[in-house]
Amino acid sequence: MTTSSSFLRIVFEKETCGRCGGCGNYSYCQQYGTMCFGCNGTGKRLSRRGKIASQKVQAFKVDRYSVPATEIEPGDRIVYSMLEGRKRATVVAVKADPLNEGHVHIETKTGGLGVLVDSLVEKIPTVQQFADEVIPYARRFKGATIEEIQ
């Protein structure tokens, strides 16, 4: 059990982007200008082992903290995928969806989503779970470093 006022976070190993050489710019296109797609314009991308660590930790969290949609309760913090990427939200209410049979409607502070009754929804680990379970798991990988934030 970790008891401390500081927080731990996992930093995945990065390397200079090989596509743009670290400047963040590459060939021009109408929609994104010269932003490099190898690194989203940051000049850095996950190294090979950073990527492996990131995928393993992600899979661990999905496996460990996903629960059936019907077990989600108000107050739960969840993470779900949208076209724009992964979103985090706090659940306000969970109801049967009258318009879509076999679905539940999960209402969050920032919107809502309809999911199949028997599908899994990923909950965000609590600070304690993160410290006691996710961090020790991440420590197994060379591509992950644990940092302390005060």
- Contact residues toward Zn ion (CB under 5 A) are 17, 19-20, 36, 38-39
Q: CA neighbours within 13 Å on the CB side: how many for 43?
A: 4
Nearest C-alpha neighbor of 74 from the set 31, 109, 35, 41: 109
Please, what is the minimum distance in Å from the beta carbon of residue 142 to Zn ion?
A: 23
The DSSP call for residue 56 is H
Whichever of 21 and 114 has its CB closer to Zn ion, that residue is 21
In the complex, the smallest distance separating the C-beta of residue 141 from Zn ion, rounded to whole angstroms, is 24
CB 64 to Zn ion: min, Å: 33
**Nearer CB in complex with Zn ion: 36/138:** 36
Q: Measured from the CB of residue 38, what is the shortest distance to Zn ion in angstroms?
A: 4
Kindly list the distances between the CA atom of residue 27 and the CA atoms of 18, 22, 34, 43, 99, in Å, as whole numbers in the listed order. Answer: 14, 14, 5, 14, 46
For Zn ion, give the closer residue by CB, 43 or 68. 43
Question: Angle at Cα 53 formed by Cα 131 and Cα 89, nearest 5°?
Answer: 55
Distant-in-sequence, close-in-space partners of 29: CB < 8 Å, separation ≥ 6 = none
Residue 16 or 126 with smaller CB distance to Zn ion:
16
